[in-house]
Amino acid sequence: MKPVAVVLGSSSPRRKEILGDMGIRFTVAHADIDESALPGETVDQTALRLAMEKARKISLRYPDALVIGADTLVALDGEMLGKPDDAPHAAAMLEKLSGKTHDVFTAVAFALGAEGREESVLCRSQVTFKNLDHATIDAYVATGEPLGKAGAYAIQGKGASLIESYAGSHGNIIGLPAREVLRFFMTFGPERLPWDN
């Protein structure tokens, strides 16, 4: 079995950092897809489908590479909370999350087009927010951090101050569950991957 290059289908700085910390050399490509949920889909189904769509689309450009696609979604009582459109939308999301426990789903898909290989895995964590007053929410939104983040917060940034506790993989909440990715690497064949020396 010949060695393969690795392509991360995400421009997320945190995903790049997590994958880099595993000691893998990789390149980055972006898959421009419609990330809307389909009628009747559950949040976990949406995450799995989007991750696989990203991996497949990029695999068409890099058929000889192992492509990693990922998608992270936040859900409160089964309702998907995507990325806020603007500051007022972010504040409204944070008000919904205040004092409650929500789910964070990250799906990771792997595709190697030349070998017709596709696999995916879903990781779920739970995050409990503190009771947030309006001043706290407004101050956090003013930092600009919530924009572009599923659920309108970043646990790895200033958003950590909003969180009472969490259960499950911290990497999953950030956007890439390292344990699941490494487990796939081991089954795929670690000798085929471009590890840093």
Which residues have a catalytic role annotated? Answer: 71
Which distant-in-sequence residues (6+ apart) come within 8 Å of 190 by Cβ? none
Would you give the distance in Å from CA 76 to the centre of its chain?
17
- The Cα–Cα gap between 76 and 84 comes to 15
* Residue 56, amino acid: R
From first to last of the 197 residues of the chain, give the pLDDT tens digit.
Answer: 678 999 999 988 999 999 999 999 999 999 889 888 899 999 999 999 999 999 999 999 999 999 999 999 999 998 999 899 999 999 999 999 999 999 999 999 999 999 999 999 999 999 999 999 999 999 999 999 999 899 999 999 999 999 999 999 999 999 999 999 999 999 999 999 999 86
- The Cα–Cα gap between 1 and 41 comes to 38
Write out the DSSP string of 146-169.
Answer: TTTSGGG--TTTGGGGGEEEEES-
Domain range list for the chain: 6-192
Give pTM, 2 decimals. Answer: 0.91
* Residue 183, amino acid: R
* Residue 195, amino acid: W
- The Cα–Cα gap between 25 and 193 comes to 8
- The Cα–Cα gap between 13 and 11 comes to 6
The domain 6-192 is placed in CATH, from the list 3.90.1300.10, 3.40.50.150, 1.10.3720.10, 3.90.950.10, at: 3.90.950.10
Which distant-in-sequence residues (6+ apart) come within 8 Å of 53 by Cβ? 31, 33, 69
